């Protein structure tokens, strides 16, 4: 299927996509804050930045949370497996690089002693399962 937008309009749309303070991230932040958890934002810990700039940092617990979009980070769900047909080679390269970068950053964090949880956008649909998953991650030693 051909793109229905002009290249200029597509460029404008893509320029509005942000990596911080996304709707999924804000939903997780509100949920955790309401449960009494406090955190730092976007990779800040002890005056420095952590590898990969995690969305939420629980410095005293030595835990971090990434809230990833399924499409952008190549999750194994319907949205993550769907590849654009327009400019397919570009998107395949971009998404593969992102997946490899995510794996490298996860490895660097774990090597540094951090416990890492990745919340996928598709997991936000089941609120009770999400709450349980977050509580379990944050309370385990």
Domain architecture of the chain: domains with CATH: 23-139 (3.40.960.10)
Taking the C-alpha atoms of residue 135 and residue 137, their distance in angstroms, rounded to an integer, is 5
Taking the C-alpha atoms of residue 56 and residue 117, their distance in angstroms, rounded to an integer, is 10
- The CA angle 18-30-112, to the nearest 5 degrees, is 70
pLDDT at 115: 95
pLDDT at 9: 81
Taking the C-alpha atoms of residue 46 and residue 97, their distance in angstroms, rounded to an integer, is 29
Sequence-ordered strand ranges (E) for 70-112: none
pLDDT at 136: 93
- The neighbouring-strand residues paired with 49 are 44
Predicted TM-score of the model (pTM):
0.80
pLDDT at 131: 92
Residues of the chain with confidence (pLDDT) below 50: 1
């Amino acid at each position: 299927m051909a793109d229905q937008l002009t290249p200029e309009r597509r460029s404008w749309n893509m320029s509005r996509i942000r990596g911080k303070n996304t709707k999924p991230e804000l939903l997780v932040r509100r949920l955790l804050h309401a449960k009494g958890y406090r955190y730092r934002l976007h990779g800040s810990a002890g005056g420095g930045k952590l590898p990969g700039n995690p969305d939420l940092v629980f410095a005293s617990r030595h835990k971090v949370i990434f809230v990833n979009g399924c499409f952008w980070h190549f999750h194994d769900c319907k949205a993550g497996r769907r590849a654009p047909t327009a400019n397919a080679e570009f998107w395949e390269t971009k998404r593969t690089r992102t997946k490899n970068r995510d794996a490298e950053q996860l490895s660097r964090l774990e090597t540094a002693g951090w416990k890492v949880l990745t919340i996928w956008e598709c997991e936000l649909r089941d609120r009770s399962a999400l709450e349980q998953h977050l509580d379990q991650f944050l309370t385990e030693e």
